[in-house]
Amino acid sequence: MVKTVILVSGGGTNLQAVMDAHLFGEIPNCELTAVISSDPEAYALIRAKSANLPTYVVDRTLFPNVQSYNTAVEQKLQDLDAELVVLAGYVHPLGHGALRNYEGRIVNVCPVLLPAFGDSNMNTMEPYERAIRAGVKLSGATAYFVTAGSGGPIILQQAVEVWEGDTPKTLQRRIMEEAEWKLLPQAVALYCQGQLAIEGDVVRIAGQRK
């Protein structure tokens, strides 16, 4: 079983998607070990507790700088013996230590079709605003392995149509429902089943044609 720790900061809808998929047996060989929140008031903690998952808080506001905060997060991941780290609405960039120690073992999902708009602030409404301003006909979401740069090796993508008259909020909701909430559990499942291999900057999925 792959010990999986999920990092959160907010409402926890992506966390809920992973927990639901795990509950229904859609993520084999995965042990949801714990949820770590950067915010003690995050609703994601209530979701995790309702699912009887152990929860921990590493409160960003209690640390004098980013470095000391990231060190505390990395230490907690080590204490929990995490094998896979999943970012589910986690708003803080991971430190160099975590990126190095968990290279190829950190999965995230973002509300764009990388590399398009990959320089957006993914924790704001910016990705949706930029998609609408650009007049793109398709947006969507990307599940990927986190690296030090913007984005990382792509695991899965799902396109979502941009409708005439969309607002950032309506587009955000549709991307979450049609893409993010599906891709993140699927990416975790593929990892836990040993079906992912990173070759350079490309992710190969076992059984798929190159």
How far apart are the C-alpha atoms of 79 and 33, rounded to whole Å?
A: 11
Q: What is the CATH number of the domain that holds 48?
A: 3.40.50.170
Q: Burial, 109: exposed, middle or buried (Cβ in 10 Å; 0-12, 13-18, 19+)?
A: buried
For residue 108, give its domain range. 2-205
Q: Which residues of 145-175 are buried (b: 16+ CB within 10 A; e: fewer)?
A: bbbeeebbbbbbebebebeeebebeebbebb
Look-up: residue for tokens 């992912």?
A: 196
> What number of helices (H) and strands (E) belong to the chain?
7, 9
The torsion angles phi and psi of 6, rounded to 5 degrees, stand at -110, 130
How far apart are the C-alpha atoms of 125 and 45, rounded to whole Å?
A: 23
* Residue 33, domain member (yes or no): yes
Q: Give residue 48's pLDDT.
A: 98
Q: Compute CA distances 151 → 34, 142, 146, whole Å.
A: 25, 9, 6
Q: Give residue 20's pLDDT.
A: 98
* Residue 161, domain member (yes or no): yes
pLDDT tens-digit map of 98-109: 999 999 999 999
* Residue 50, domain member (yes or no): yes
Q: Answer whether residue 9 shows pLDDT above 90.
A: yes
How far apart are the C-alpha atoms of 164 and 89, rounded to whole Å?
A: 27
Question: How far, rounded to the nearest angstrom, does the alpha carbon of residue 132 sit from its chain's CA centroid?
Answer: 23
* Residue 210, domain member (yes or no): no
Token pair listed for 51: 């699912």
Token pair listed for 98: 């975590």
pLDDT tens-digit map of 38-70: 999 999 999 999 999 999 999 999 999 999 999
Instruction: Give all strands (DSSP E) within 46-153, no chain letters.
Output: 55-57, 84-87, 106-110, 138-145
Token pair listed for 129: 């605003």
Residue type, 87: L
pLDDT tens-digit map of 81-137: 999 999 999 999 999 999 999 999 999 999 999 999 988 888 899 999 999 999 999
In total, the chain counts a number of residues equal to 210
Count of domains for the chain: 1
Query: Angle 69-87-104 (CA atoms, 0-180°, nearest 5)?
Result: 95
pLDDT tens-digit map of 146-181: 998 778 999 999 999 999 999 999 999 999 999 999
How far apart are the C-alpha atoms of 136 and 143, rounded to whole Å?
A: 20
* Residue 48, domain member (yes or no): yes
Whether the CB-CB separation of 4 and 31 falls below 8 Å is answered with: yes
